[in-house]
Each structure stands twice: as structure tokens, then as C-alpha cells.
Chains A and B, each alone.
Chain A
Amino acid sequence: DIQMTQSPSSLSASVGDRVTISCRASQSISRYLNWYQHKPGKAPKLLIFAASSLQSGVPSRFSGSGSGTDFTLTISSLQPEDFATYYCQQSYSTPWTFGQGTKVEIK
């Protein structure tokens, strides 16, 4: 199985801050990497697919980069509605695995 490791596990940030979350795969997954946002009690939401493609309807302050084993999700200017847990997920091979999540909290 491909292991996905996110860092940090949690972070505190203020509205307007630039936030960067990292995701590392245990083997090369090319650009088969996706990012989700999950708020308590709500359905997870696809933000970024294929490492850097923005899902329709997602604000442009979200961006993704990387290939191979190292990937990054960036929120250019954190908004109040962005406080949530973020997960990366590889779609390279079964089982399709997620990172452990990064919780973004209000400073």
C-alpha cells in the first residue's frame, strides 16, 4: 500500500495568512494526488485534483503543486470559512489511501 504522510498534523493561523500543507507519498505517484477539505458534520469537499487542477467552484486562493512523491496545498489568504481539516489522497493505485489530515485552527 502507498502511505501518505501529511505535515504538519495541525496548525494555527490567522485570517489573511498564507498557509502551506505538505503531503509525501511512500513511492512515486506521478501527479495522481488530490486534496479535500472536511468540516465536522459536513461532507468532505474536493478542492484540487491531479496535483494542481482546481475543482469547479473552489476559490482561486487554493492551489496545489508537486509531482512524484512531494506535494503541497497552499491557501494564499486564509478566510474564516477555511478553518477545517485537509486531506491528501493518492489515486495512483489501489487501495486509494489518504493522509492522516492537517487541522487548520484559528490563532
Chain B
Amino acid sequence: EVQLVESGGGVVQPGGSLRLSCSAAGFPFHNYTMHWVRHAPGKGLEWVSLISWNGASRFYEDSVRVRFTISRDNSKNSLFLQMNSLRTDDTAFYYCAKDKETGGGSYFFDAWGQGALVTVSS
């Protein structure tokens, strides 16, 4: 069974930093593109970032491009999101999500974690 477990959420002041982690199990993590998707209160789902299976390709949503960095450690089946210069509109549940296809990716998500809540507030 695929399992994705996020950690590292919390409350941070505007301008602060936070690092989210996602621990993966139940599938060959090193074969899959991985994503971060967020859900802000009262809003819809928003794709945030992806990283290819080998870390060579990374993409970001425009509003986070220069502030967030996605990375992975295939030896530890782990995905990360370093979030800097946080703003109040970054407040959301952040989900780690697995791409459905191996290799280049299909850019949709067949497994999700339970989410980590990030609250940016003074």
C-alpha cells in the first residue's frame, strides 16, 4: 500500500521559513515524479511544485518560484519543500502527491498524503 506522510508544518511569521518533509513507502519512490499541492482555507486545490524522479527537472507555480525549493533524497524515500519568505497567502494544507506514471510523469496524482498545515501569521 502506498503511504505518504508529511511533516514539518506549523505556525510561522510573515517573512519566515519552514521546511516540509514527506516520507514515502509502498512503492519504488526513485522511479516517480513527485509533487506538492496545497489547499488554502476556503479555496480550491493548487499545484505548487514538482521534481522528476532523478531530481534533474523541477517546476514551480509562479507565486512560489523564487521562494520555494523542492528536493528529494531517493536513498531515504523522502521529498522536501523548503519555503522561504513566507506570506500570509501561503497559509494552507500542503500535500505530498505521487505522479501516476513512472519516468517522465503524467502530471496527475494517484496518491496523496494527509497534508501538513502551514499557517503564516503575525
Contacts and interface: CB of A to CB of B under 8 A. Distances in A.
Interface in A37-61: 38, 41-46, 49, 55
Given A49-B100, A99-B44, A43 B108 contact: no
Contact of B114 (A34, A42, A49): A42
Interface residues of B, number: 23
B27 interface: no
B64 to A, nearest CB: 10
Contacts of B115: 43
B108 A34 contact: yes
A44 B106 contact: no
Contacts of A64: none
Contacts of B4: 43
A46 B45 contact: no
A91 B112 contact: no
Contacts of A32: 107
A89 B108 contact: yes
A91 B110 CA distance: 13
Contacts of B113: 43
| Residue from the set B45, B62, B115 with the largest chain A CB neighbour count within 10 Å | B45
Main secondary structure of the interface of A (DSSP, over half): loop
A76 to B, nearest CB: 23
A32 B62 CA distance: 21
Contacts of A36: 45, 109
A45 B37 CA distance: 13
| Residue from the set A36, A42, A94, A95 with the largest chain B CB neighbour count within 10 Å | A95
Given A43-B95, A43-B114, A100 B107 contact: no
Interface of A: 32, 34, 36, 38, 41-46, 49, 55, 87, 89, 91, 94-101
Interface of B: 4, 37, 39, 43-47, 59, 61-62, 95, 100, 106-115
Q: Which 3 A-B pairs have the closest CB atoms?
A: A43-B112, A91-B107, A34-B108
